[in-house]
Amino acid sequence: MKNIIISDPTLRDGNHAVGHQLSVEQVKIYAKAANAANVPILEVGHGNGIGASSLQVGLAKESDIDLLEAAKSQLTTTKLGIHCIPGFATIERDLKLALDIGVDVYRIASHVTEADVTKKHISFVRERGKEVYGVLMMSHMAGIETLVSEALKMESYGAEGVVIMDSAGAYLPQDVKKRVTALRTALNGHVGFHGHNNLGMGVANSLVAAECGATILDGTARAFGAGAGNTQLEVLIAVLEKSGYSTGVDLYKILDAGDIAEEYLIDVIPSVKSTSIASGMAGVFSGFIRHIDRVSISYGVDPRDVLFRLGKRGVVAGQEDIIIEVAQEIAEQQGKTK
């Protein structure tokens, strides 16, 4: 039976869905449930990772240190993980803080064509003997040759594996098959897959990734995440078990964790809506949808038009300012004024 490592970013990616307003108490409640279910890795923090709380991408309700310490206090077997994007996070301010708190797993992320920026952060963590992975976000925006080249850079910096993110929920199973197969052939370490559900393919794409050699899969309780949400963790665990994979996660207790997340964390259960589908079709970061909905109302334009226009521009996470520019441009073309 093939083993799959489950990484659960419910308390990190889910923060996107609530404007980064998860509280210390909410973190404690879900962390306790995830630990009881024997989830291997639990990611915690601002939706864009440690050090990201800002006016540009959203101010968090709680500090990084408060969220991480709250989660750590509830974990006995589950490893505490962070998502770290160089540029938001620095080594001196953020990674050293995470080390002091006792974070176990470090996932250092960049846009899919910018792995170079992760070198110092990955090397720093690796030199301190911690578990570190590279993460390539918006991976659909690069061809397979580029994707493999960027992943190899991360491995050369010391990453023990590379996780590709379908940040826009744009992949179909054949896309996942080609990319994970290529990465599995090229890399020595783990290959991971992080799915989103914009086109309703989160679980299906994750299963294909496992079949093609991925050994790390991400999923969130009740699909808690931006837009249409992430790969739904409880379903993923059940499907993997039925397909003959071993995750070590207790099925009944992860089902309980999903119920707990719905009761204590989630305002609105993620579902596939028209803007989510447009996001997946356009290849636009799922985390933009809340901003796009708000700005589109303000300018009186169709959010689907904004999404497809952003897709043509090839915008990436961190370029939230362009949403207003595009909405204003469409409004002017349509003879509307704010």
Side-chain half-sphere of 204: how many Cα atoms within 13 Å? 12
Nearest residue to 29 (alpha-carbon basis) of 230, 269, 268, 259? 259
How high is the pLDDT of residue 98? 98
Mean pLDDT of 163-176: 97
Q: Please state, rounded to an integer, the average pLDDT across all residues of the chain.
A: 96
> What's the CA gap between 228 and 271, in Å, rounded?
5
How high is the pLDDT of residue 131? 98
The yes or no reply on domain 2-265 and CATH 3.20.20.70 is yes
Beta bridge partners of 220: 232
Binned at pLDDT 50, 70 and 90, residue 338 comes out as low
Mean pLDDT of 208-223: 98
How high is the pLDDT of residue 337? 65
Binned at pLDDT 50, 70 and 90, residue 317 comes out as confident
How high is the pLDDT of residue 286? 81
Query: Binding site annotation covers 12?
Result: yes
Nearest residue to 134 (alpha-carbon basis) of 188, 96, 97? 188
**Record: fold of 274-334:** Helicase, Ruva Protein; domain 3 (1.10.8)
User: SS3 letters for the chain?
Assistant: CEECEEEEEEECCHHHHCCCCCCHHHHHHHHHHHHHCCCCEEEECCCCCCCCCECCCECCCCCHHHHHHHHHCCCCCCEEEEEECECCECHHHHHHHHHHHCCCEEEEEEECCCHHHHHHHHHHHHHCCCEEEEEEECHHHCCHHHHHHHHHHHHHHCCCEEEEECCCCCCCHHHHHHHHHHHHHHCCCEEEEECECCCCCHHHHHHHHHHCCCCEEECEHHHCCCCCCECEHHHHHHHHHHCCEECCCCHHHHHHHHHHHHHHCCCCCCCCCHHHHHHHHHCCCHHHHHHHHHHHHHHCCCHHHHHHHHHHHCCCCCCCHHHHHHHHHHHHHCCCCC
Higher pLDDT, 1 or 161: 161
> What's the CA gap between 254 and 213, in Å, rounded?
24
How high is the pLDDT of residue 160? 98
> What's the CA gap between 255 and 261, in Å, rounded?
10
Binned at pLDDT 50, 70 and 90, residue 321 comes out as confident
Which residue in this structure is represented by tokens 């379908």?
Answer: 166
Domain boundaries, the chain: 2-265, 274-334
Mean pLDDT of 119-131: 98
Q: What is the percentage of the chain residues whose pLDDT exceeds 90?
A: 92
How high is the pLDDT of residue 288? 86
How high is the pLDDT of residue 316? 83
> What's the CA gap between 19 and 221, in Å, rounded?
17
Query: In whole angstroms, how large is the CA radius of gyration of the chain?
Result: 19
Query: Binding site annotation covers 13?
Result: yes
Mean pLDDT of 154-179: 97
Residue-wise pLDDT for 196-205, tens only, equals: 999 999 999 9
Query: Binding site annotation covers 83?
Result: no
Q: Please indicate whether residue 16 is annotated as part of the active site.
A: yes
Q: What is the percentage of the chain residues whose pLDDT exceeds 70?
A: 99
Residue-wise pLDDT for 76-105, tens only, equals: 999 999 999 999 999 999 999 999 999 999
Mean pLDDT of 146-160: 98
Q: Dihedral through CA 165, CA 86, CA 322, CA 149, nearest 10?
A: -50
